Every structure is written in structure tokens, then in C-alpha cells.
Chain A
Amino acid sequence: MNGGKLQSNILNMWLYICGFLLLWEWLRPLKQLTDTANLTVFIIFLVISLVLAYFKVNIFVRNGIKLLYVLYTINLLYFEDSFFKLKWFFYVTDSVIENMRAVFQGSWVSLTDDFRSILFFILLGLMAYLLRYWLISRRQIFVFFFMTLLYITVLDTFTPYEAEFAIVRTIVIGFALMGILTFYRILDRENLQMPAAFARKWLIPLVGMVCVSIIIGYAAPKASPIWPDPVPYIKSYSQDNREDGNGSGGIRKVGYGMDDSTLGGPFMPDDTVVYETEADHRQYWKVETKDVYTGKGWVIAEENGEKIAFAQGEEFPISNYTDEEMTVDERTATIRPFLQYPHIIYPLGLKVVENDIGHSYEVDLSLEKISGADLGNLPGIGQYTVEYESPRFSIRGMMSTVDQNHPLLTEDFLARYTQLPDELPERVRDLALELTQDKENWYEKAKAIEDYFGRVDFQYDQKDVAVPGRNEDYVDQFLFETQKGYCDNFSTSMVVMLRSIGIPARWVKGYTEGDFRGMTDSGKRLYVITNNNAHSWVEVFFPEVGWVPFEPTKGFSNNAQFTFDLDSEQPGQQDDVLEAPEAPEVDKPEETDAPEQSAQTSFSWKDTFDKTTQFLRTNWLWFAAAIAVLTLTTYILYKTRLKWLPYFLIFRYRRRKNDEDFPEAYIALLTQLNRYGLKRNQEQTLREYARYVDHYFSSGEMSALTSTYEQYLYKGKLQEGSWENTKELWENLIKKTIA
């Protein structure tokens, strides 16, 4: 008995500890969210209260200790006098009286800190008492647990308090508490004493369950809400004074647009097909680059800049690379435009553009935008083939640049590609500096900034994207306020941050590789590019290598290839940088359309939902028919069960040979007879029932069968051959129930 008592005491102690932890979760956010300093003294008070409750200290002693502690703490916090001088004590009494007056007058602001602390102590004391009541007297904690969760999640949603771990902790503690309390309740209800082994048996699965639920919860995908997030709405409601920026009027559609002077605002998905490509590799398609950032978006430095014409089949006049010895992969790709754009899309390392019609092209040098020339009366650019050299950028080359000291980095060049508006808030640069402070070279700096956007704080979103107000900067708003956006936000921010620390960079527009549709006969991979694939990214200039693409947008991956031709100085980086070029693509073609969907769950949820509704809408008749047929079949089967169930039972038990099957068969017979309409009352003994059944069927089979079963049931013995000998009786009886 002593063991049981000890066990129970230990369990009670665990209850108190868990209860304390749960209550602690209420106190933790206070430090961050309110001006409550010295939280520790309150936590100690809580511990004292619970320990006293656990040891069931006499109520006067208990309250005496608590009172002493409270007074001592008040003295320590608010009075300089020694605790034993007692003079301060009269101040406290005066202060309490003064404050009580204030309370009755309702002048809450004039309450002094010491009084508020005393009130808080009283509240904590009450909470400790309540905890004891819930845990020990009532053995129920769910309401408190639920309230704690609610409290934490609300704080997490509406305040800066980060409650991720608090939620996990609360769940663990709450589950453990409810498990132990349920154990207690069962013990009470069943009037059981508690042997130690019993508690252990209960605790093991409890711990298992808690662990499993935590692991599942941790591993499970965290879907963003399907409904629109109410938080920005609520927030904007309270700060309606923000001025609307220009161009925030309507929702834009995703797609390729020329005007990027005002970025921001939500996008509607648009799956109009723009291009179809046949390529042997997955890569981004470039349209143009932009280099002047205005604080609201991107503009072109010079309208109608210099253009160079080049014929089809002729070598493309400009190169983005300075590295003569760069390893390249020679590739070709065919592009079929579906919409009549004047420009073409082209891959990195373009060499030659060819078309069957024979028209030529021209390239805008500042934009690196290629348009069709001398089209004559052609409606637009038709199918064309590109030959290109897919580069493998040398990381060593990129890492060799540490400053702007390089003959290629002329003043004009730097002025153009490190241009920033004067109004750019200083904190953007500060952030860039902070991120790159311990990085030596440009490559590492660029990489550090690119990686920064991979943090959890940033969210890919097409709907809930802010437009900068009149006095706001697009990048600043994204980096420090919303942290929510799509490719334009990410890429522009990266370019601006790079420029702010003097690294030349530019903004590139184009398309991602599109959706993989299968392999063509010629062994190429067929992609369909829709307006949804419109994209923007970053190119950084490294004098030793040239313009190198970077991909800061969350959920997208850089398709450019890098060779790590360094000595293994920083082996840790290798994984980030090197891309396995071929293998995964052939095996997993479905990955090709993944980037946009995998990471942005909210978007893909919506997408899936839309697809499902679409599918249901077109096929609802089939579904309805299938459900109807299923229902009807079930109904008919149920209605005719008297006809077929006996056969099924006979089929099922005929093959059984063991005597152990007899009881099961007998029970099945009882159920079947009951179904047939020969109901047995619960107080009717099997023998009486058997007589009733036999009387009904005018036979003696049931009684014979029953007496064998009685021996099994009430004597605990199954005679050998019970089933073999009675099988026939059993079958006969079952057959008799066939309606």
C-alpha cells in the first residue's frame, strides 16, 4: 500500500510540475509584450505556492510564507530600505489604501507599480489554487489547457510574440496532463488501488502517444490557411491612415508586362499558354534586363537605346561572359510562340537564333532584349531555334573578386549597375552590410543575401502583397514590413541590397522553364510556358566571370550551373552550390513544374482546390451516379441480407476445421437467428432459447448444438471433435434461416 501511495505522490508531483509549466506559458510572453520586468520573482512565487500545495502545508503556514515572500519582494523591488526596518511597510499600506481608492474611482492609470505587483501576486496565488483544484480535486484540466492554447495562438497571431515552441510545449504538457488525469479518473471510477506496475503501463503508451503526436505534428506539412489571412485586414483596419500609393487600384494578372515602374499589389493567376519549348535542359528564359531602380519599380535608363541587328543564323553580337575559359555545354532548343510578342525569349549563353522564314533580329543593348526585325508582312515572330552555350560558372572566378578594383569595373559601369535612388532608407543598406559583414568576396556576399530570403520570415504570396505608399520604398516595405510577396519583391530586393554594398547587379525578366509535358520524338523535353511562369530574377556581375544569375525567390531554384573548381577549402558550401545537372531531371520529370507549387502551400492549396472543384464540376454527374449506384447496392444488399448472408456464413465456416472455431460459429448462428427474427431476450438462457428455436423449427438441432456450446462456455472445456460433430447441425440451422 505504501508503494502505491508513494507512486501516487510522485504522479501528483508530476501533475504539479506540468501544471506549473502550463501556467508558466501564460507568463512567458509578458516580458516581451508588456512592461513587466522581473518576471522571475513571480515565477518563484508560483513555484512556492505549488510546492506548498503539494506538501499540503497547513493553510496558515502556507499563506504566511506566501505573504512574507510577497512583502519581501515588494520591498526588494520598490523600496531601498532594509526589509527589517519596517518603515517601508507603512508606505506599502498607505500605497495600497491610496490605490484602492483609485480602483474605486476607476482611475486605472494612476495605479502604482507596487500595487499592481501585489495584485499580480494575488492573481497568481489564485491561479495556483485553481490549478490545485483542477489537478487534484477535479482531475480535469482540459478547459485550462484549451485556454492556454488559445491564449498562445492569439498572441502568436496578433503580436510579435513567437509562439512556435510555446505551442509545442503546451501541447506536450497538456496531453501529458490529460493522460495522467484520465488515468486518475478511471482509477476513481473503478474504485481501484494503484499498483506501481499499473501506472507504468499507463505511462508508457501515454509517453508514446505524446511523442508520436508531436512527431506527426512536427513533420506534417503546415498548410497556410485556405481562407484569406484576416490579420492584415484587422491591422489595416486600425491603421487606415496609410496613403494609397499610385497604381494600387486593381488586381493585376500574372504575365509578362513591359511596364515595371510600379511594382507590388496582388496577382491573379493566368494560365494562358505563351510559349512551347523543346529543350534538353531545364532553364530560365530571358526577355530583358532592367537597371534603374526608382524606389517603386524598374525603368529603362534610355528610351530607344542603341540597337544592333543580326541575321538569323548569325552569331549573337553580345556576350555576358568575360571568362574565356569557361566550360560550356552546347545546346539547342526550339521555341514556338503562342502569343504575338515583338520580343523573343532566349536562354543564358545565346549564340545563334534561327528561323525557317529567314527574317533577322535586333538586340537592344541596354535591355538585352531581342526583337524581330524586317518581319515584312509576317504577323509576328514564328517558331525559332536557338543555339546556346549553357555556362558552368566558375566559383573560383567569382570568389576572386573582393572589391571594385578591376579594369572592367569602369566608373560608368558601376554608376549604372549600382544605381540607387537617394530616398532609399538607410536600413536596407544596414541590413545588407550586416548580412555580409563576415563575408570576404562578392560571391559569398551575394550568396549570403540570396540565402537571407530563404528564411522563414519570408513568405511567397501572390494575393496579399502590399503596394508601397507614397513615401515608402518598395524594397524597404518588403524587407522590413510585409516580408510577403512574389518574385519581383524578392529579386528587386536582392538587386537593391547588392547595389547598396557596391556590387553591380541588375534585374532580369523572363519566364521559368514552364510545365513539363513529356518527351518529344527527337528526345527533347517538351515544356509549356504560360503567363503563370513569368518570372524575374537577379544577375550579378563578377568581372572574372560575367553576369551570373541568382535566384532569391522562395520556392524557386537557380537553374544555372556552377563548377566548384576550388581546392576543398570550404567543403560545407559544396552542397549549396553544385547542382547535379542531369540525373534528377530524367527520373523525375514532374519536378519540373514543382518550384512554384512546392513551397508556397497557400498557393498550391488554392490551386488544388480550384482543380478539384473544376474536376467535380465537369464530372459531377458521374460522381452522383456512382454514389447512387453504391447507395442502391448497399441498400439492396442490406435488404436482401437474409437471402445471401446464410450462404456466406456457410461458405465461411465450412472450411474451418478447428474446434476453436465452434464458439465463433455458434455466436454467428445466434446473430443470424436474431436477424431471422428469433430474438433472444437478454435474460433468456441459451437452453431456453434453444428450446424456443427448436420448437419453432420443430427439431432438436439447436438444443443439441447448445449443449455442446454450454460445455464450452460454462465448463470451460471444448470436447474434441465438437465442431466436426456439430457442423452439420449448425449448417442445417443456418440453412433454415434462409428466407
Chain B
Amino acid sequence: MTHEQLNPTIGRILENIEKVMIGKRNVAELSLVALLSGGHVLLEDVPGVGKTMMVRALAKSVNAKFRRIQFTPDLLPSDVTGVSIYNPKELEFQFRPGPIMGNIILADEINRTSPKTQSALLEGMEESSVTVDGITHRLEKPFFVMATQNPIEYEGTYPLPEAQLDRFLLKMKMGYPDVNEEMEVLSRAQRTMPIEELESVIDLNDLRELQENIKLVTVDDTIKRYIVDIVNGTRRNSSVYLGASPRGSIALMKAAQAYAYMYKRDYVLPDDVQFLASYVLAHRIILKSEAKFEGISAEDVLERVLARVPIPVQRLVK
């Protein structure tokens, strides 16, 4: 799809990000898809591959308030949401907003903290609000969380429960840069910390407008049917213990809308759906243990499902 023309605004944002990120165009695009469709991203990778850089570049490009929460085993929910502190001068409690009160949040190593703290973040992601001492604080929009987690196999982690994984629109891996890219990384690092030089491309109002526009992208019934068929396919697959939920269908549709918009289209193609299906659905299905032992991954299952669902080439007969 790379040869398709990009929406100019989005093209500029991507260019901006590429100034500091070498390679990883795919990750940048998908992150933008999530940002534009109001979802959140779960990045699963080892430390040091540029996750932070990626998010910071994104935040900078849209001129958003960037916050970072480093999740550690001893982090408390109030460390995320903020805390009310007694002010002796004013004789009352004052709310000190936590790091969640930003536009773009990097939740680093989310699976290293306790479920209690995890859920504080996840409540914010789902409800766009946090409750501290009985007072609900609305979060400013846009609100975008990019959570990173160490691969599950590493020790000392609290894996996210399925219900909470479902709240992430996309899950992706960053991966190591290839040789040339890594050499380029080194060259740039010699000069300055490149992120400091980055300028913003749009502001938050522009971003909100983009988000509104995306809702207008047409999803034809043929496409809806295709999405439903795919999601149904995950439910029927023999390796799957629990398939994707209707929330997964909605997520796939929204992501596809954003992706179509990104490529200057006002309608969704099956290609969009196909491309995104694995990122949107893979973390929403639970494999049977037999399948896991056989080394089948959720991505493999999706690949099989996609190969079995025919592309709609004619209009639905009503």
C-alpha cells in the first residue's frame, strides 16, 4: 500500500517522526492510526529499540502534552492518577494531578506493575476520566496511551488480563532496526539528541478535527460483512479458545477508517481491513493450550482466517 498517496497533513506528521526515527515507518503509521481513531497502542518489545523516541516524536509533532509513566512493581495507583495533598496554608486538600493528566502518555513496561496500578491506567483509557478521593477528573482530549510491555516470557511480570488487553486498539512489535538503519541511528546520535530539534506540525485542534473527519469515512455493508466474517472466523477456529469480541469488530472498523483516511480515501477497502486485522485482533483472541504447545501464534491463526474469508467482489444482494 506504500505507493498510495498519503493525506498531506498526515504525510507531514510521518515525515516529522522519521526525522528522529529511522525505519519503523510501519510502527509510526499504526500509531497514528490509533491516535486518529481515538484508540491506544500496546507495544511489545525489549527495552532500547526506540519506543520512547517514537512516542515523544509523535507528541511533539501534534504539539501534545507528553507524559511518561515508568511502571515499577512498587508504583501505586495514586502515582498514576495524582493525589490530594493537605495544604496547611489554605486548610484544605489540594489535588495534585498525576502523570496521566496529559494528552499522550507513554506507559512504559506496564506489565511490571501490580494489577491495581495497571487498572488505574486502564480506567483512564476506557472512561477518559480518573477518580481520586471520590472526585472524577475528566481527562483532556485527545488522550492517547502508548503502553509498552516486555515480552511475557521475561521474569517478574504481571501479564495484563484479557479484558484489559481488549482496551488497546492495536498491539504491535517494534523490532530491531536492520544494519543500515542502525548505522544511521549511530550517526545521528553522534550529533545531538535529535528529538530536541523536532517542531510540531499541527496542534491539538487540528488533531481533533482529523479525528472528526475520520468518523465520516464510508464503511460499506460489504466491508462490514467482511469484518464480521473475519471476526467470526476467529471464533470458529479450532486453535482458538476464545475469539475476538464485538468490541474487536468495532476496533477493526475504526482502525480501518483511520487507515483509509490516512491514504486520502473516504471509503474503506478490504485491503485496509486485511492489513490491520492482525494488529487489531491478535491480542484479543485466546489460544488453546494445545495450540500454544504446537507453537501456533495468534498471528498465525489470523493469517489462516484471512486466507479463508473471501474478499467481497460484488455488492451484497438485499
Contacts from A to B (Cβ < 8 Å): 663, 667, 670, 681-688, 710-711, 713-716
Are B274's CB and A685's CB within 8 A? Answer: yes
Tell me whether B311 and A714 are in contact (CB under 8 A): no
Give chain B residues whose Cβ lies under 8 Å from the Cβ of A714.
218, 220, 222-223, 267-270
Write out the residue numbers on chain A whose beta carbons fall within 8 Å of the beta carbon of B266: 715
A715 touches B315 (CB 8 A): no
Taking the complex as formed, is B125 at the interface, i.e. its CB lies under 8 A from any CB of chain A?
no
Residues of A within 8 A of B313 (CB): 667, 670, 686, 713
Minimum C-beta distance from B254 to chain A (A): 16
Complex contacts, B306 vs chain A, CB 8 Å: 683
Inter-chain CA distance A426–B131, complex, in Å, is 113
| Interface membership of B307, Cβ < 8 A | yes
Taking a contact as CB atoms under 8 Å apart, the answer to whether A685 and B311 are in contact is yes
Q: Per a CB cutoff under 8 Å, which of A670, A681, A685, A715 touches B270?
A: A685
B267 touches A683 (CB 8 A): no
Chain B 239-269 per-residue mask, 1 if CB under 8 angstroms from chain A, else 0: 0000000000000000000000000001111
Cα distance A683–B139 when bound, in Å?
A: 42
Q: Which of A667, A687, A715 has the most CB of B within 10 A?
A: A715
Residue contact A667 to B314, C-beta cutoff 8 Å: yes
Q: How far is the CB of B114 from chain A (nearest CB, A)?
A: 43
The answer to whether the Cβ of B152 comes within 8 Å of any Cβ in the partner chain is no
A685 and B220 CA atoms in complex are apart in Å by 15
Could you tell me if A715 and B267 are in contact, using CB atoms closer than 8 angstroms?
A: yes
Is the beta-carbon distance between A715 and B220 smaller than 8 angstroms?
yes
- A685 contacts which chain B residues (CB < 8 A)? 269-271, 274, 311
Q: Distance (Å) between the CB of A190 and the closest chain B CB? A: 15
Closest A residue to B310 by CB, please name it.
Answer: A682
Mind listing 12 A-B residue pairs with CB under 8 Å? Answer: A683-B274, A686-B270, A686-B311, A686-B313, A687-B269, A687-B271, A713-B313, A714-B218, A714-B220, A714-B270, A715-B218, A715-B267
Q: Give the CA-CA distance A299 to B25 in the complex, in Å.
A: 116
CB of B312 within 8 Å of the partner chain: yes
Nearest to A716 among chain B residues (CB) is: B220
Instruction: State in angstroms the CA–CA spacing of A208 and B310 once bound together.
Output: 38
C-alpha gap A670/B270 in the complex (Å): 17
Q: How far is the CA of A681 from the CA of B309 in the complex (A)?
A: 10
Distance between B281 CB and nearest chain A CB, rounded to angstroms: 15
The smallest beta-carbon distance between B231 and chain A, in angstroms, is: 15
Task: Report chain B residues within 8 Å CB of A688.
Answer: 271
A683: contacting residue among B218, B222, B268, B311, CB under 8 A? B311
Instruction: Answer whether residue B308 sits at the interface, using C-beta atoms and an 8 A cutoff.
Output: yes
Contact B222 A713 (CB under 8 A): yes
Residues of B within 8 A of A (CB): 218, 220, 222-223, 266-271, 274, 306-315
For B222, what are the chain A residues with a Cβ–Cβ distance below 8 Å?
713-714
The residue of chain A having its C-beta at the shortest distance from the C-beta of B275 within the complex is A685
A663 touches B315 (CB 8 A): yes
Contact of A713 among B220, B271, B274, B309 (CB under 8 A): B220
Looking at the assembled complex, report how far the CB atom of A704 sits from the nearest CB atom of chain B, in whole angstroms: 14
The smallest C-beta distance from B160 to any residue of chain A, in angstroms, reads 31
Contacts of A711 in B (CB 8 A): 267
Identify A716's interface contact among B218, B269, B270, CB under 8 A.
B218
Chain B residues, Cβ within 8 Å of A663? 314-315
Closest to B314 in A: A667
A663–B222 CA distance with the chains assembled, in angstroms: 15
- Per CB-CB distance, the 7 closest pairs between chain A and chain B, nearest first, are A715-B267, A682-B310, A685-B271, A685-B270, A683-B307, A714-B220, A714-B267
Q: How far is the CB of A229 from chain B (nearest CB, A)?
A: 52
Interchain CB contact under 8 A, B307 and A710? no
Q: How far is the CB of B227 from chain A (nearest CB, A)?
A: 12
Across-interface contacts of B307 in A (CB, < 8 A) = 681, 683
A715–B221 CA distance with the chains assembled, in angstroms? 9
A670: shortest Cβ distance to chain B, in Å?
A: 7
A681 CA / B268 CA spacing, docked (Å) = 20
| B311 and A713 contacting across the interface, CB-CB below 8 Å | no
> Which residue of A has the minimal Cβ distance to B309?
A683
Give the nearest-CB partner of B268 in chain A.
A714
Q: Which residues of A contact B308 (CB under 8 A)?
A: 683
Residues of B within 8 Å of A713, CB to CB, are 220, 222, 312-315
Chain B residues within an 8 Å CB radius of A684: 311
Question: Distance (Å) between the CB of A265 and the closest chain B CB?
Answer: 66
Determine the distance from Cα of A710 to Cα of B272 in the docked complex, in whole angstroms.
Answer: 13
Nearest CB in chain B: distance from A160 CB, A: 56
Closest to B3 in A: A691
* Min CB gap B150→A, angstroms: 34
Q: Give Cα A685–Cα B277 distance, bound, in whole angstroms.
A: 14
On chain A, the residues within 8 Å of B310 by CB distance are 682-683
A-chain residues with CB within 8 Å of residue B270 when the two chains form the complex:
685-686, 714
Nearest B-chain residue to A711, judged by Cβ: B267
How far apart sit A497 and B121, CA to CA, in the bound complex (Å)?
A: 110
Q: Which residues of B contact A710 (CB under 8 A)?
A: 267, 269
Q: In the docked arrangement, what's the CA distance between A102 and B99, Å?
A: 96
Shortest beta-carbon distance from A716 to chain B in Å: 5
A670→B314 CA distance, assembly (Å): 11
Q: Measured between alpha carbons, how far is A710 from B265 in the docked complex, in Å?
A: 11
Residue from B218, B310, B313 having most chain A Cβ neighbours under 10 A: B313
Docked Cα-Cα span, A681 to B222, in Å, equals 18
Residues of B within 8 A of A716 (CB): 218, 220, 315
B267 CB contacts on chain A under 8 angstroms: 710-711, 714-715
What is the minimal beta-carbon distance from A732 to any residue of chain B, in angstroms?
21
Q: A682-B309, A685-B270 are in contact. List 10 more A-B contacts (CB 8 A).
A: A670-B313, A681-B307, A684-B311, A685-B311, A687-B269, A713-B312, A713-B314, A714-B269, A715-B218, A715-B220
Q: Within the complex, which residue of A667, A682, A715 is in contact with B311, where a contact is CB–CB below 8 Å? A: A682
B306 to nearest A CB, angstroms? 6
A663 to B314, CA, bound (A): 8
Query: B270's closest neighbor in chain A, by CB?
Result: A685
Q: Which of A682, A684, A685, A688 has the most CB of B within 10 A?
A: A685
Closest to A666 in B: B313
A253 CB, nearest partner CB in chain B, Å: 66
